[in-house]
Structure 1
Amino acid sequence: MWIKKIAAVMLAAFVGFTMTGCNAITIDGEEGSLTAGESGGNGNIGFSVSTLNNPFFVTLSEGAEAKAEKEGVELIVVDAGDDAAKQTSDIEDLISRNISVLIVNPVDSDAVAPAVQDAVSRGIKVISVDRVVNGVEVDCAIASDNVEGARMATEYMVSLVGEGAKTAEIEGVPGASATIDRGEGFHIVADEKLDVVSSQTANFSRSEGMTVMENMLQADSDIKGVFAHNDEMALGAVEAIGNRDIVVVGFDATDDALTAIKEGRMAATVAQKPDLMGETAVDTAIKLINGETVEKEIPVEVELITK
């Protein structure tokens, strides 16, 4: 009997030790876990993109994939489909796959924070691209100057419609840093020089942009200018506007928007370089994997595109 008791005690001790060891590596956020900034992982890069149902983010992803292929590194791209909850799940899945670097393009800059913090706490390097992660210190933030781009676009609108003209703002996904920054840039000018009669979200969607514009025009048919936080919503607004003489300005310089500008259906857009952002994100990730020091912020220039 005493031999069986000793064996049972030894087995329990072994199981307890094994469970403690597993927690220290994969679960426990305190004792025994990887410290923030410590390198680890299998050398692969995970990329959580907000949506691939938008030409801008498709180009962003393609830029990243092209760079990864050129450099011979493994890049795992996951599409959140503009769903903040799915993005959290996607990031947790990437963490479980033992990636070394997480590139994240947030659906919602606040909602994504806990999952990103989890990655940081496990020693995964993090790069935000196009949109920031609120409340979490990432290794590098790569983005266009959205405030300045929106400010330039709105100044151009004023030059076309005149000061005091009735204008409308079609906003992006609530909570996204691009929505916040582009709204800020618009209002820096519009609140001083224009009569903003409506600001409504269309979630960066072309179809929603059309619906929102239709509703705006039903509420006020005297609108003379529209600033949309991206080209997809701007193009939706163009469909709703039809032959009315209304100035529409977008953001992103997608192919469809550039065509609309050439044809005179849109007045302007702000050109970003999503392919360059994706390429820069992967290049920066490789540097982090190799233990190199990188800049905390890497700005990508924007420019106003008109006919």
Structure 2
Amino acid sequence: MKKILLMVVLVISVFALAANYRIGLSLSTLNNPFFVTLRDGAQDMANKLGVELIVADAQDNPAKQLSDIEDFIQQRLDLIIINPTDSDAIVTAVEEANDAFIPVITVDRASNGGLVVCHIASDNVAGGRMAGELIASLLNGEGNVVELEGIVGTSAARDRGAGFEEAIANYPGIKLVAKQTANFNRAEGLTVMENILEAHPDIDAVFAQNDEMALGAIEAIKSAGLLDKIIVVGFDAIDDAVAAVEKGEMTATIAQQPYKMGELAVQKAFEYLSTQTIYIPVDLKLVMQE
């Protein structure tokens, strides 16, 4: 009976301690459904673990993100999760958190400096490579291709572009005729694509480094009457993009799991605060005589 009571007290103590944890989540933008889903996953996990999650929307503004994180530091939060607007610009914020002895976790996009205890992201290079191989296959290794780039300076834009360009480099018949930034934004994707179509009317495929830009590009392609002639591949698999694929307007999108990213970021934050370590399980393999 005493052992049972002791276990109950320990469980209550753990949850009481968890309830005192205050974690900041600084998101690059909540104007993109991908990051809304990431926030939802983080919030649900915070609710499950009994920790307080404080969310800030940087509105794609590095200066605002720095200010938001400085506010987190002033509040003496236990840990800060950052989805950087810009991988270079965020370094100052990470270093300020380091100086205040507040641990930092990055999610989806990395920081190019400062001390980060954990980074949670998809393999963006592999995703870009996947898009490149798909386009090369659909074009039978020949054609003119456009790449719509995300926010310059983000690790996601850099890595997706690297994977894509690495893949198409294996096909001498494929030419990258234009590469322009549209800042992961749907409206900019539309405008940039309109301009590219004027300069290059003989485009065969478009790779957009996220779905927002892809959806904007599709509107421009529709207006030009070329929807049935141009392959469009996006990245993220947000709801609007999946619907566009189902309608036959978008050829494909590379699926990520933003909800899972948000969940995992908070889970690892809690784990680190509770144990000062982060547990990364590796699958086991059974070896036996055949």
CA shift for structure 1 position 115: 1.1
Q: Does structure 1 residue 279 correspond to structure 2 residue 263?
A: yes
Q: Does structure 1 residue 114 correspond to structure 2 residue 92?
A: yes
Q: Is the 8 A contact 2:206 2:230 kept in 1?
A: yes
Q: Is the 8 A contact 1:142 1:297 kept in 2?
A: no
- Percent identity between the two aligned chains: 54
> Superposed, which structure 2 residues align to 1:1-307 within 5 Å?
43-193=21-171, 194-242=174-222, 243-244=225-226, 245-294=229-278
Paired AA for residue 145 in structure 1: D
Q: Distance in 2 between matches of 1:142 and 1:295?
A: 13
Paired AA for residue 235 in structure 2: F
CA shift for structure 1 position 120: 1.3
Q: TM-score, normalised by structure 2?
A: 0.86
Deviation track 1:48-77 (CA, whole Å, cap 9, x = no partner) reads 000000000000011001111121110000
Q: Which runs of 5+ in 2 are unaligned?
A: 1-19, 283-290
Q: Distance in 1 between matches of 2:193 and 2:170?
A: 23
Q: Distance in 2 between matches of 1:162 and 1:208?
A: 30
Q: Is the 8 A contact 2:133 2:167 kept in 1?
A: yes
CA shift for structure 1 position 281: 0.4
Change (3 A) 1:296 1:180: farther
Q: Which runs of 4+ in 1 moved over 2 A?
A: 295-298
More deviation, 141-150/64-73: 64-73
Secondary structure in structure 1 of the residue aligned to 2:275: coil
Secondary structure in structure 2 of the residue aligned to 1:192: coil
Secondary structure in structure 1 of the residue aligned to 2:236: coil
Count the aligned residue pairs.
257
Secondary structure in structure 1 of the residue aligned to 2:106: strand
Q: Distance in 2 between matches of 1:168 and 1:161?
A: 13
Q: Distance in 2 between matches of 1:297 and 1:70?
A: 21
Paired AA for residue 143 in structure 1: A
Q: Distance in 2 between matches of 1:128 and 1:203?
A: 20
Secondary structure in structure 2 of the residue aligned to 1:144: coil
Q: Distance in 1 between matches of 2:281 and 2:62?
A: 24
Q: Distance in 2 between matches of 1:43 and 1:65?
A: 14
Secondary structure in structure 2 of the residue aligned to 1:170: strand
Q: Distance in 1 between matches of 2:277 and 2:49?
A: 19
Q: Is the 8 A contact 2:124 2:163 kept in 1?
A: yes
Q: Distance in 2 between matches of 1:295 and 1:221?
A: 52
Q: Distance in 2 between matches of 1:221 and 1:120?
A: 50
CA shift for structure 1 position 164: 2.8
Q: Distance in 1 between matches of 2:271 and 2:170?
A: 44
Secondary structure in structure 1 of the residue aligned to 2:201: coil
Q: Distance in 2 between matches of 1:292 and 1:87?
A: 26
Deviation track 1:276-307 (CA, whole Å, cap 9, x = no partner) reads 00000000111111124115899xxxxxxxxx
Q: Which runs of 5+ in 1 are unaligned?
A: 1-41, 299-307
Q: Is the 8 A contact 2:94 2:113 kept in 1?
A: no
CA shift for structure 1 position 262: 0.8
Paired AA for residue 267 in structure 1: T
Q: Distance in 1 between matches of 2:104 and 2:44?
A: 20
In structure 2, the partner of 1:30 is: none
Q: Is the 8 A contact 1:140 1:297 kept in 2?
A: no
In structure 1, the partner of 2:17 is: none
Q: Distance in 1 between matches of 2:231 and 2:202?
A: 12
Deviation track 1:175-201 (CA, whole Å, cap 9, x = no partner) reads 011000011011101233220000000
Q: Is the 8 A contact 1:49 1:105 kept in 2?
A: yes
Secondary structure in structure 1 of the residue aligned to 2:169: helix
